[in-house]
Amino acid sequence: MGCSFSGLNALYDSANSGGDVWINENRFRILRQLGEGGFAYVYLVKEVITDGSAVSGSGGLAKKVKDQSHLSDDGNYAVKKVLIQNAEQLELVREEIRVSSLFNHPNLLPLLDHAIISVKGAPGGSSSHEAYLLFPVHLDGTLFDNAKVMKAKKEFYSTSDVLQIFRQLCAGLKHMHTLEPPYAHNDVKPGNVLITHKKGHIPLAILMDFGSTRLARREIRSRSEALQLQEWASEHCSAPFRAPELWDCPSHADIDERTDIWSLGCTLYAIMYGVSPFEYALGESGGSLQLAIINAQIKWPAGPNPSYPEALHQFVTWLLQPQPAIRPRIDDIIIHVDKLISKFTN
C-alpha cells in the first residue's frame, strides 16, 4: 500500500499536546490523547490551516475528502497511531485501510486519510513502521463508555432510544453484509460503537474499528481449518460477544455474516443493561463464558422501572440463536426492529 508521510515531527515527544503531525500533505496539531489499546494510540488533533492549504476558507483536507459532510466544522479530528513491529502487523494495518475504504455509510466510521511510514532506529538496527489513520472525532465516547457512566448513575436508555441506536447499527451492518462479496465486522461490541448525543435528537450511533473485518463467508472442510478459525477468532473477536460457531467450530461448516448477528444481539442486550448477556458466567463459581454462549443461557437482570417490554427480550432471544443456520439475517432484523420502533416510539 503506497502510503506516504511527509514532514513528520515525532509523535513520541508530543503525545499530550503541542506537537504537529503531518498526514501526507496536511498538518495537524496534537491537542491531547483520547485513548490507547494494544499497539494503538488515539489523539485529538486540529488541522493547521496555512495559506498554501486554504481552499475557499477550508483546510487542505477539503481537497482530499470526497464526502464533504465528513469534514469537521472546527477542524478537529481523531488520529489513530499504530506501532508496527513486524511484517504480519504491517499487513494487518494495510488490510484495515483497504477494507475501510470499501465502506461509505453514515453509520460506519469513515477513514479520511492515512499514512504508513518507516521508522529507523529499531532494536538491532532494523526499521519498523508506524501507521497514522485519520477519522472524524466523536467526543461523547463509545456505548461502553456511556454504559459505565449510566451504571454509576443508575440510568437506562429508554425503549425508544434502545431501538433507535440498534436500528442504526443494523443499517451500518447491512451495508457491509450486502456488499458483493459480503464482509463481516467480526467485533461488534459496545466498545466499537461511537455514540453522539445532541439535544432534541436520538443518539447517533456509528460502528468503528475494522481491524478484524474480513470476507464474511468461509468454507470449513477439515478439523485443522476449524481450529485455525477458532484460533483466529480468539485473537480478533471479543469473547463476551463472540458467536458460538467461533468458539466450537465443526469440521464441516459454512461460516457467514451471521456471526455478526450474534454479536449484534449481544450488543442490543448491552445497550439495555450495560454488559453482554453472558458475562454473568465470569462471576459464578465454576462458571464458563464459553458454555453460557454455546448454550445461549441468557439471564435478564433488573432493568429500568418500568422495565423493557417483553417483546424486546424476545427480540434479543431471536437474534441469539446458537445454531447459525436458523439465526436471522440483517434484512429480516431490520423489518422486525422497524415494527418495534413503530410500536414503542411515541
Q: Please determine, for residue 2, whether its predicted confidence score (pLDDT) is greater than 60.
A: no
64 is in an annotated binding site: yes
**Cα separation of 205 and 264, whole Å?**
13
Residue 184 phi, psi dihedral angles, 5° rounding? -110, 140
pLDDT, tens only, 58-98: 558 877 777 777 788 888 999 999 999 899 999 999 999 99
pLDDT, tens only, 275-328: 999 999 888 877 799 999 999 999 999 889 889 999 999 999 999 999 999 999
- Going by pLDDT thresholds of 50, 70 and 90, the confidence category of residue 19 is confident
Domain extents for the chain? 11-136, 143-344
143-344 and 11-136 share a CATH fold: no
Rounded to two decimals, what is the model's pTM? 0.89
Cα radius of gyration rounded to whole Å, the chain: 21
CA-to-CA dists, residue 331 to 138, 171, 257, 327, angstroms: 28, 9, 12, 12
- Going by pLDDT thresholds of 50, 70 and 90, the confidence category of residue 122 is low
DSSP state of 189: S
CATH superfamily of 11-136: Phosphorylase Kinase; domain 1 (3.30.200.20)
Q: Please determine, for residue 13, whether its predicted confidence score (pLDDT) is greater than 70.
A: no
Q: Which CATH class is domain 143-344?
A: mainly alpha
